[in-house]
């Protein structure tokens, strides 16, 4: 199959492309580095594509900015998909995004709604934070030698396992929303980042703080942890740390 990967150079995107090629599929990377601007639609041509896996992302804490970005990208993808006769749109969402009224998560919910009401048959997989989240800037706020991390319960999953699940879904028929995918264990976000800093020799001092309001309460209560009916990955955060060093 010929499958386009929107955001194919990101953390999960690179792995999706890798898995597709390992399994004998043709991967079409949609990113600025390949001449495609998904926000404007420039260079977006899906001729001959059977399915699109949407992994687009941006770094922001603004709900308005995230919503505008995801709605525009989805509209552009839908136009190109309709023009090319693409039969399947696969979206990666975030577990608990509907329970956290905060910035980026609000944008992801707008993206889900746009896909659900769009013209192309779709599949939605929500996953928890990836192990790699521990080393990404949105995981905390650096203030000199300190990294401030909101009090949050997380359930990290291997990005490779998410990529494999997305490819499984893309080569099949559209299913609507499927079972969530979470990691094998739960841990506090600050502990996750602290372990990553120690393993990579960064020596950061990590301090946890309670984020105020409904979003902060949702984070602390485990809104981003996969529920009992979710599927579970197998690689633990500790195993990922060992394999990445």
Return mean pLDDT, the chain: 92
Would you say 122 and 176 are in contact if contact means Cβ atoms under 8 Å apart? yes
Strand runs (DSSP E) across the chain, as ranges? 2-6, 26-30, 51-54, 88-94, 122-127, 141-143, 146-150, 153-154, 176-177, 181-182, 187-188, 205-209, 231-232
Contacts (Cβ under 8 Å, ≥6 apart) of 185: 155, 236, 237
- At 42-94, the pLDDT tens digits run 999 999 999 999 999 988 889 999 999 999 999 999 999 999 999 999 999 99
Residue 134: the pLDDT is: 84
Residue 143: the pLDDT is: 65
- Predicted TM-score (pTM) of the model is 0.92
CB-facing half-sphere around the CA of 99: CA atoms within 13 A: 15
155 in helix, strand or coil?
coil
Q: How confident is residue 157, by pLDDT bands cut at 50, 70 and 90?
A: very high
Q: Which residue in this structure is represented by tokens 């979003």?
A: 215
d(CA 241, CA 195): 8
Burial class (CB in 10 A: 0-12, 13-18, 19+), 47: exposed
Q: What is the mean pLDDT of residues 216-226?
A: 92
Least trusted range by pLDDT, from 169-178, 192-201, 222-231: 192-201
d(CA 153, CA 238): 16
Residue 150: the pLDDT is: 87
Examine the pLDDT at 210 and tell me if it is beyond 90: no
Q: What is the mean pLDDT of residues 219-223?
A: 91
Q: How far is CA 107 from the centre of its chain?
A: 12
Q: How confident is residue 26, by pLDDT bands cut at 50, 70 and 90?
A: very high
Residue 55: the pLDDT is: 97
Q: What is the mean pLDDT of residues 228-238?
A: 95
d(CA 243, CA 234): 14
Examine the pLDDT at 137 and tell me if it is beyond 60: no
Residue 107 gets the label, from left (phi > 0), alpha (psi -120 to 50) or beta, of: alpha
Least trusted range by pLDDT, from 35-49, 88-102, 195-209: 195-209
């Amino acid at each position: 199959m010929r499958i386009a990967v929107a955001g194919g150079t990101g953390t999960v995107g690179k792995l999706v492309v890798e898995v597709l090629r390992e399994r004998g599929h043709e991967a079409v990377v949609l990113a600025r580095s390949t001449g495609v601007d998904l926000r404007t639609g420039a260079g977006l041509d899906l001729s001959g594509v059977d399915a699109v896996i949407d992994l687009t992302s941006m770094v922001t804490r603004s709900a308005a900015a995230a919503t505008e970005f995801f709605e525009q990208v989805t509209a552009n993808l839908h136009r190109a998909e309709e023009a090319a006769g693409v039969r399947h749109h696969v979206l990666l969402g975030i577990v608990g995004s509907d329970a956290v009224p905060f910035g980026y998560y609000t944008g992801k919910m707008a993206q889900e709604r746009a896909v659900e009401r769009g013209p192309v048959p779709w599949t939605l997989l929500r996953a928890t934070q990836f192990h790699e989240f521990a080393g990404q800037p949105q995981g905390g706020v650096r203030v000199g030698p300190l990294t401030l991390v909101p009090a949050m319960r997380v359930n990290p999953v291997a990005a490779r396992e998410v990529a494999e699940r997305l490819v499984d879904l893309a080569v099949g028929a559209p299913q609507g929303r499927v079972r969530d995918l979470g990691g094998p264990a739960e841990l506090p976000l600050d502990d996750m980042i602290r372990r990553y800093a120690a393993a990579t020799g960064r020596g950061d001092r990590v301090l946890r703080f309670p984020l105020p309001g409904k979003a902060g309460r949702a984070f602390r209560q485990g809104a981003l942890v996969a529920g009992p009916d979710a599927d579970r990955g197998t690689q633990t955060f500790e195993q990922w740390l060992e394999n990445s060093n």
